[in-house]
A and B are shown apart, each in its own frame.
Chain A
């Protein structure tokens, strides 16, 4: 993906821990605006990459550029435009939600009203007076997000923000993140090990596995990789194969007595159906199956060819 003026750009970013290569020659290019989903299985190198984006750890090689400037030489000025939630939120349990925000506000030197805005954004205004040790996991995660929003960032970096949350918490968090780019124009860089979690909100996707970037581009590009397969059920199998092959389709007989036809679109499916019905075949099953994004993700990260699923 060649993004003009990317907000985040890494060039040959590499980090080792002992002999283990955690991130290998990573070239990220994250466009401004929207949500970038940074995907990979656990241990793929996502958190290490994110820590390098934030300057928490130093790369062994390569460079991080944020907003077009090298991070190393401009960390303090660049971090003023970045908000981050890395893994679990960092909170002081003995302080209230508001006091936790106040600690970070003091460090940032941000105006006091930002606390109320951040609390409102994450719907914690009512519980702000309670000590954080009384908060549920979902509330803690939302407070962590509020901390990241306190300096009104242009870039929000979230590392597995829904990890450990129950379905309701995941839904809440996802809704919050989904609305951030539209409301404030910020860019969200979001890591996850679940494609299903980000495909609903991300405009761009990067897939990392064992430290390598396997795919990077718009979600639509990934969707274009989805393969389809038409399965057909007819009573007269052998005659149907002959008929379809004669018409130019590639046909395979499956173990479940269905036929797999090389059709790629609903129009193809309709043509196959018309052909068979016109020749008086009894068609009792017709399904266009599509490999889900999850299958593509698994294919990329496991190097396996996933079986298509019925759409």
Chain B
């Protein structure tokens, strides 16, 4: 009950915020990039599969780069509004369990990341449809694989839970942008190098991308979801005991 109340309050806080607007902007940028790639390609190979290529490319760019940055930004913004006017002291003095506040923050971040990933998939489908009209050689691209898009939208999102949980804790723990942003940029930067390393299989910021790498699918999903839940519990335990000075 208190969790529902906390979620209800969180939704109102999103009104007129950058945190809400940004979930539309980043998927649009990735879809726009796909649009230009298709538009500027001079000759498509005979075996070119429009939907598979576009779907995989865009979701990989999303998984390895844009989504971790979006998570960094979203969690920093969502929790930044509690640091700016020192709202934590007000919230913690209310008869609301702290764990409900923490979990609601995590759920809202997860919800926004899911909506953003869904928007990306929808925009990529739209770009694909436009491409089949602009490039006659792609007219026979076949039916839109809605099932594949739906499946990978959910999987990429689920594999990101651990990143969301880490950033939720970091951004509740430190006010301002430097530390949350540093953690996000650092995490994403190392992910680019960890992809080829064997330990990359377990690297939190690489888990969504690992879904597309042979032999790493299962570990990515299990670590992403289970790791996300465990990290949320651990972060929540610290949050509940935290002094508000």
Q: Residues of A at under 8 Å CB distance from B? A: 17, 51, 54-58, 75-80, 82, 84, 86-95, 99, 102-104, 106-109, 147, 151
Contact = CB atoms under 8 A, between A and B. Distances in A.
A89 B13 contact: no
A92 B81 contact: yes
Contact of A80 (B6, B13, B95, B243): B95
A284 B6 CA distance: 73
Interface string B85-115: 1111111111111000000000000000000
B151 interface: no
B85 A56 contact: no
Contacts of B84: 93
B8 interface: yes
Contact of B15 (A51, A79, A90, A99): A99
Interface in B3-33: 5-6, 8-9, 12-13, 15-17
B95 A56 contact: no
B12 A102 contact: yes
Contact of B92 (A55, A99, A109): A55
6 contacts: A55-B92, A56-B244, A90-B86, A104-B94, A106-B5, A107-B9
A102 B243 CA distance: 26
Nearest to B243: A57
A54 B97 contact: no
Given A92-B81, A95-B13, A107 B89 contact: no
Interface in B44-103: 81, 84-97
A34 to B, nearest CB: 22
Interface in B143-191: none
Given A51-B245, A99-B12, A94 B94 contact: no
A79 B95 contact: yes
B85 A95 contact: no
Given A56-B93, A57-B244, A103-B13, 13 more contacts: A56-B244, A57-B243, A76-B96, A79-B95, A86-B89, A86-B90, A90-B86, A90-B87, A92-B13, A94-B16, A104-B94, A106-B8, A151-B94
Q: Which 9 A-B pairs have the closest CB atoms?
A: A90-B90, A79-B95, A106-B9, A90-B87, A57-B243, A56-B244, A80-B95, A54-B93, A106-B8
Contacts of A92: 13, 81, 85, 87
A79 B93 contact: yes
A75 B9 CA distance: 21
Contacts of A147: 90
Contacts of A89: 85, 90
Contact of A79 (B1, B9, B94): B94
B5 A58 contact: no
A88 B245 contact: no
Given A84-B93, A86-B89, A95-B16, A107 B245 contact: no
Contact of B12 (A17, A76, A95): A95
Contacts of B95: 75-80, 108, 151
A94 B93 CA distance: 22
Contacts of B245: 17, 51, 56-57
A84 B13 CA distance: 21
A201 to B, nearest CB: 22
A55 B93 contact: yes
B17 A94 contact: yes
A82 B5 contact: no
A90 B85 contact: yes
Contacts of A108: 5, 94-96
B184 to A, nearest CB: 23
A227 B26 CA distance: 72
Among B8, B15, B85, the one with the most A-chain Cβ atoms within 10 Å of its Cβ is B85
B9 A103 contact: yes
B87 to A, nearest CB: 4
A56 B9 contact: no
Contacts of B5: 106-109
A95 B6 CA distance: 17
Contacts of B13: 92, 95, 103
A161 to B, nearest CB: 14
A88 B6 contact: no
In this complex, the member of A86, A88, A151 whose beta carbon has the largest number of chain B beta carbons within 10 angstroms is A86
A76 B97 contact: yes
A79 B98 CA distance: 13
A55 B88 CA distance: 12
Contact of A93 (B12, B85, B86): B85
